[in-house]
Structure 1
Amino acid sequence: MSEFDVVVLGGGPAGANAALAAASAGLNVALFDENRSAGGQVYRAPIHPTAVGHSADQRTGDALRRDLAASSVTTFFAHPVWAVTGDYRVDAIGPNGPVHCTARALIVASGTTERVVPFEGWTTPGVIGLAAATILLKSQGMLPGRSTLVAGCGPLLAAVAAKTIEGGGKVEAIVDLAGTADWARALPTMLARPDLLRQGLNWWNTIRRAGTPRYARHTLIGVKPVDDRLAVTLARCDAAGRPVGGERKTILADCVAVGHGLTPSTDVTRLLRAKHRYSRAAGGWIAVADQDGRTSRPRLYVAGDGAGIAGAAAAAAYGTLAGLACAFDLGASCVSRLQRRIEPARDEQRRAARFGHAMANLMALRPGHVDSISPDTIVCRCEDVTRAEIDAAVNAGARDVNQLKAWTRCGMGPCQGRTCGDVVGELLMRRTGVTREAVGCFSARTPLRPVTVEALTGSFTYDEIPIPTAAPL
């Protein structure tokens, strides 16, 4: 078993920069990520670099990967972490089998999970998340479909639509929960990062030149297969996300890419019993932490969007802060040099976070959006639990999400509630009339990711199993 000063979970901009900062202070650092290389969702490396345009995101990701390769950080890519214990032992599965290590401190930079508020037909083949669409476009150099309808809320709408158009695909329409006034209110805050604002405007210019219609303040209410295409029905909605009366519109597409924002990934910090709080603006449940990422548990740190949605630029600075704080707390010798780096990193994180928080507000779960989920619509797609089954459990007396989980199996599937947890909590809150804090969040369990017994034990025959000699009678 390997021993390190610090283990960092997550190789996105937060995790990679946390690892680099801690290593620069002389600490022995390991970084784990389930992807094949660093970069996370935003700076994801293409599978075939020559097949994908050399965008600004790719250049930033390439620089990050070069910095990691040149550093002393020990990297474990393609290693999903399935267990973390209270003494900061980390267990992962890699291409060559199990890996175990221990650390004096742990930095969790596990990113986010995409939220999709269920609607009729959301589990139909051809309906994918906006995040999945970006993986296809950025990593694989593939279009989501011959024609795509993009729906949901937040900046990924424009990003996916523009990159699809640039890749030669057709975007049938953009269906945006937000209204034009919502975007206008966010504009003054977005001026804090003119570079990111300019990128967004370039996306919308690409969309405008292609003649793609945008349906502001609209929501999806159903998707049905028609021959080899998808018939997508949309309706106007109010500011809370509820469909309102009026004409319904149906659009045909080959693919529907939909996403209703992001939720922080907190399974590790919940497993380690750090304090958490609920923040709708930050994306959901987040670990309580100070400005440098220190949680309520000693030597446990959080960084990036997993600590609250603020965007990739803020995540990078937050990662640097967490790495420096960890080095400071573990007694690194270069204290004065660490202190000189902390304030500039804090300034950068605050500046970038202003833009990120404006985008997070556009992606926040709208209080009435779940009201439109019909009784027979599946909410937990791992266990096929419907809205009607959830309502029945509430009627029978379920008052928190873990009680609901025990009665319905909602959240017990391979994703362990990462996909449905935020929506389930909102449904329960609205049915019981209590707060999100009162209904709670799913308890984290090991294994954190699905893992086969074979992956843990390897291949063997029964003849190879050592059998101890029987004790004498």
Structure 2
Amino acid sequence: MPNSPSEHGRSEHGRATGEQPAGLAVVGAGPAGLTAAVTAADLGVTVTLLDAGDRPGGQYHRHPAPELGARTPGVPHLKRRAWTRWEQRLRHHRSAGRIRYLPAHHVWTVLPEAEEGGWVLHAVAGEEERAVTVRARSLLLATGAYERQLPFPGWTVPGVVGAGGAQAMLKSGLVLPGRRVLVAGSGPLLLAVAASLAAAGATVPAVVEAAAYTAYADRLGTLAVNPGKALEGARLGAGLARRAVRLLSRHAVTAVHGSDRVTGVTVQRLDSAWRPVPGTGRHIPCDALAVGHGLVPQLELATALGCAVRRTADGTVALALDARQRTSVPGIWSAGEAGGIGGVELALLEGQLAGHDVAHELHGTQLPPRTWRLVRRRARRRAFADTMAAAHRPGPGWVDWLTPETVVCRCEEVPVAEVREAVERLGADDSRTVKLLTRAGMGWCQGRMCAPAVAALAGREPPPESRPLSCPVLLGNLARLPGTDASGRGDPAG
């Protein structure tokens, strides 16, 4: 059994025993994490690859549920052939014992190992949330991202889903969120989502983009050295045009109609600051709305370990990485969306680059010549990612979409009026104070959904994530951490 405690050298409580630590632990088996693991294994590093999913691929390469009996989703899918080759190499390394792959393992905290150096990863495995501990000399975080949502009147009506959520429904469940699905928000993901939905049989009346595509005209040099990205966008746009899908740039959904189900939306033109232009509203009938404003790097594990962060061109917070994917903390690397949203091609490059550098660091071997080609290609892709981020950065005027009754925090059902009262009457000037006064951000998602909106209403940039745990975990698992006994009290021997 690949997950048996005896094989992994764990005690019944999941504590590390005398097992030999892996050279590298990789958290996340999406495009960045898997390529990093395989590349490092190619260069002689022993790797433990942990992932919350049941199969490798992350959000981009989602697989249909096994009971559906489908091999691949019936939607357009880029880079599938290249991904298949990486999966084959993963299987080869697993057979040879160079990679230990642990699916359905959610890492909830990472601690430095004081005695021998390196890292101790604490995870929960499977539906029973069994405690698992993994040790490694070095750590690579490929934790991906989640959707950024900006609230608007009616966004809690059934039938409103995230743009990425609609794509996930289609890829893993082979289902559509509705028959007539409007796609709205901002960012390049919208075109891909609309193309996937249309190819699967949905009617997509329009793609409503809040930004202006003319913003790319200021970065023609970056576009010139990334011709593939421009062609990809043009191909998606042409495909939508053939299906009579309208593209409304500098517009936004400012209201959803319907109570038990979406029946339509109001779309308005925006000015350059994303404020709705009076008198420009139009009604578009639909039975579902897929909406999202880009992605936000998922950083809980990294920030808990003290890794430095930076503010990206779209206002989100990402890890600060050097040219070889190293964080500010020695022994920790990162690749993919955690270092800034950039798409699958950039993630593949960064995973390979990080794998090269980890092997160099652990074995003292010379970096192969290909490393420097990867560095140059990565720089070009990262420049394009920065261009996209700047072009689709939310304007400050989007808060004018909101009404006092609009729910900001869905978990705690906190409306705009309560947040504004905390800011204007009670003196709250940051997200933390608003949270203490209104409970916005104290729910199940721990502020992942509402943090950008609460920060905007407080007049601040969203703060870096600061959570000691990356997911909910049983108290029994917390009690087994070093320094506590089985009851959770201090351990005198710890």
Give secondary structure in 1 for the equivalent of 2:317.
strand
Q: Of 425, 445, 451, which aligns to 2:468?
A: 445
Pairs within 5 Å for 1:376-415? 376-395=405-424, 396-415=426-445
Q: Which residue number in structure 2 is paired with residue 323 of structure 1? A: 355
Secondary structure, counterpart of 2:25 in structure 1: strand
- Is 1:108 the equivalent of 2:130? no
The answer to whether the Cα contact below 8 Å between 2:120 and 2:136 also exists between their aligned partners in 1 is yes
* CA positional deviation for 1:260: 0.8
State the match for 2:9 in structure 1.
Answer: none
Q: Output the CA distance in 2 between the equivalents of 1:51 and 1:114.
A: 21
Once the two structures are TM-superposed, the CA of residue 357 in structure 1 deviates from its matched residue by 2.8
CA–CA distance in structure 2, aligned partners of residues 387 and 118 of structure 1: 10
Query: Secondary structure of 1:106's match?
Result: strand
User: What are the within-5 Å matches in structure 2 for residues 336-351 of structure 1?
Assistant: 336=366, 338-351=367-380
Matched residue, 1:52: 74
Contact map agreement 2:120 2:135 (CA 8 A) in 1? yes
Distance across 1 between alignment mates of 2:86 and 2:310: 31
Report percent identity of matched pairs.
Answer: 36
Equivalent residues in 2 for 1:25-36, closer than 5 Å: 25-36=43-54
Of the candidates 251, 272, 293, which is equivalent to residue 239 of structure 1? 272
Give 1:187 shift.
6.1
Rate the CA distance shift 1:371–1:443 in 2: closer, same or farther, 3 A. Answer: farther
CA contact (8 A) 1:38 1:61 kept: no
The aligned counterpart of 2:258 is 225
Is the 1:238–1:244 Cα contact (8 Å) retained in structure 2?
yes
Contact 2:210-2:250 at 8 Å conserved across structures:
yes
- Structure 1: gaps of 5 or more residues: 431-435, 458-464, 467-473
Closer, same or farther: CA 445–101 of 1 in aligned 2, 3 Å: same
Q: 1:81 aligns with which of 96, 104, 107?
A: 107
Distance in 1 (CA, whole Å) between partners of 2:211 and 2:350 is: 28
Contact 2:346 2:381 in 1 (8 A): yes
Count of aligned pairs: 448
Asked whether the equivalents of residues 82 and 451 of structure 1 are also in contact (C-alpha less than 8 Å), the reply is: yes
Conserved 8 A contact 1:421-1:441: no
Comparing 260-269 with 45-54, greater Cα deviation is found at 45-54
Go from structure 1 to structure 2 and tell me whether the alpha carbon gap of 1:374 and 1:64 turns closer, same or farther (over 3 Å shift).
farther
Contact kept? 1:121, 1:222, Cα under 8 Å: yes
- Give the drift of 1:206: 1.9
Distance 1:360 1:195 in 2: 18
Q: Is the 8 A contact 1:411 1:442 kept in 2?
A: no
1:364 and 2:396 aligned: no
SS of aligned partner of 1:80: strand
Contact preservation (8 Å) 1:401, 1:442: no
Structure 2 CA distance for partners of 1:16 and 1:221, relative to 1, 3 Å? same
Aligned to 1:433: none
Rate the CA distance shift 1:261–1:55 in 2: closer, same or farther, 3 A.
closer
Change (3 A) 1:280 1:373: farther
Q: Residues 423, 106 of structure 1: CA spacing in aligned structure 2 closer, same or farther, 3 A cutoff?
A: farther
2:157/2:261 contact within 8 Å kept: no
Q: Which residue does 1:428 correspond to in 2?
A: 458
Task: Give the structure 1 partner of residue 249 of structure 2.
Answer: 216
Q: Would you say the 8 A contact 1:263–1:422 is kept in 2?
A: no
Q: Evaluate the alpha carbon distance shift between residue 452 and residue 127 of structure 1 in structure 2; reply closer, same or farther with a 3 A threshold.
A: farther
Secondary structure of 2:267's counterpart equals strand
Of 268-277 and 116-125, the range deviating more from structure 2: 268-277
Provide, for residues 29-48 of structure 1, a one-character-per-residue CA deviation record: whole Å limited to 9, x for no partner. Answer: 11121122222222323442
Instruction: Output the CA distance in 1 between the equivalents of 2:261 and 2:31.
Output: 39
**Residue 471 of structure 1 aligns with which residue?**
none
| Larger CA deviation: 79-88 vs 179-188 | 179-188
User: Aligned-pair distance for 1:91?
Assistant: 1.6
Residue 14 of structure 1 aligns to a residue in which SS?
helix
1:39–1:64: 8 Å Cα contact kept in structure 2? no
d(CA) in 2 for partners of 1:191, 1:139: 35
Tell me if structure 1 keeps the 8 A contact 2:50–2:103.
yes
Q: Secondary structure at the match of 1:110?
A: coil
Task: Provide the rounded CA distance (Å) in 1 between the counterparts of 2:218 and 2:64.
Answer: 35
What is the alpha-carbon distance in structure 2 between the residues aligned to residue 188 and residue 274 of structure 1? 32
Residue aligning to 1:93: 124
| Aligned-partner Cα distance in 1 for 2:79–2:451 | 30
Matched, 1:374 2:400: no
**Structure 1 residue 172: deviation in Å?**
1.8
- Retained in 2: the 8 A contact 1:90–1:102? yes
Greater CA drift, 315-324 or 192-201: 192-201
Cα 1:226–1:253, aligned 2, differ >3 Å: closer, same or farther? farther
Mapped to 1, the partners of 2:149 and 2:391 lie a distance apart of: 14
What is the deviation of 1:61? 2.8
Q: Secondary structure at the match of 1:220?
A: strand
- Show the counterpart of 2:6: none
> TM-score, length-normalised on structure 1?
0.87
| Cα distance in 2 for residues equivalent to 1:116 and 1:55 | 24
Cα deviation digits, residues 136-167 of structure 1 (max 9, x gap): 22333322311100001122221111121111
What's the offset of the Cα at 1:255? 0.9
Amino acid at match of 2:372: E
Determine if contact 1:33/1:77 at 8 Å carries over to the other structure: yes
Supply the distance in 1 between the matched residues of 2:156 and 2:112 (Cα, whole angstroms): 37
- What TM-score do you get using the length of structure 2 for normalisation? 0.83
1:353 corresponds in structure 2 to 382
Give, in angstroms, the shift of residue 177 of structure 1.
0.7
- Whether contact under 8 Å (1:112, 1:305) holds in the other structure is yes
Give, in whole Å, the separation in 2 of the partners of 1:259 and 1:174. Answer: 11
C-alpha deviation, 1:127, in angstroms: 0.5
1:359 shift after superposition = 2.6
Matches within 5 A, 1:243-262: 243-262=276-295
Q: What amino acid is aligned across from residue 89 of structure 1 in structure 2? A: V
- Tell me how far apart the structure 2 counterparts of residues 298 and 51 of structure 1 sit (CA, whole Å): 40
What's the offset of the Cα at 1:174?
Answer: 1.4
Matched, 1:61 2:86: no
Provide the C-alpha distance between the structure 2 equivalents of 1:184 and 1:208, rounded to a whole number of angstroms: 22
Find out whether 1:37 has 2:66 as its counterpart: no
Residue aligned with 1:75, SS:
strand
Whether the 8 Å contact between 1:179 and 1:217 is mirrored in structure 2 is yes
Alignment of 1:275-294 (within 5 A): 275-281=308-314, 284-294=316-326
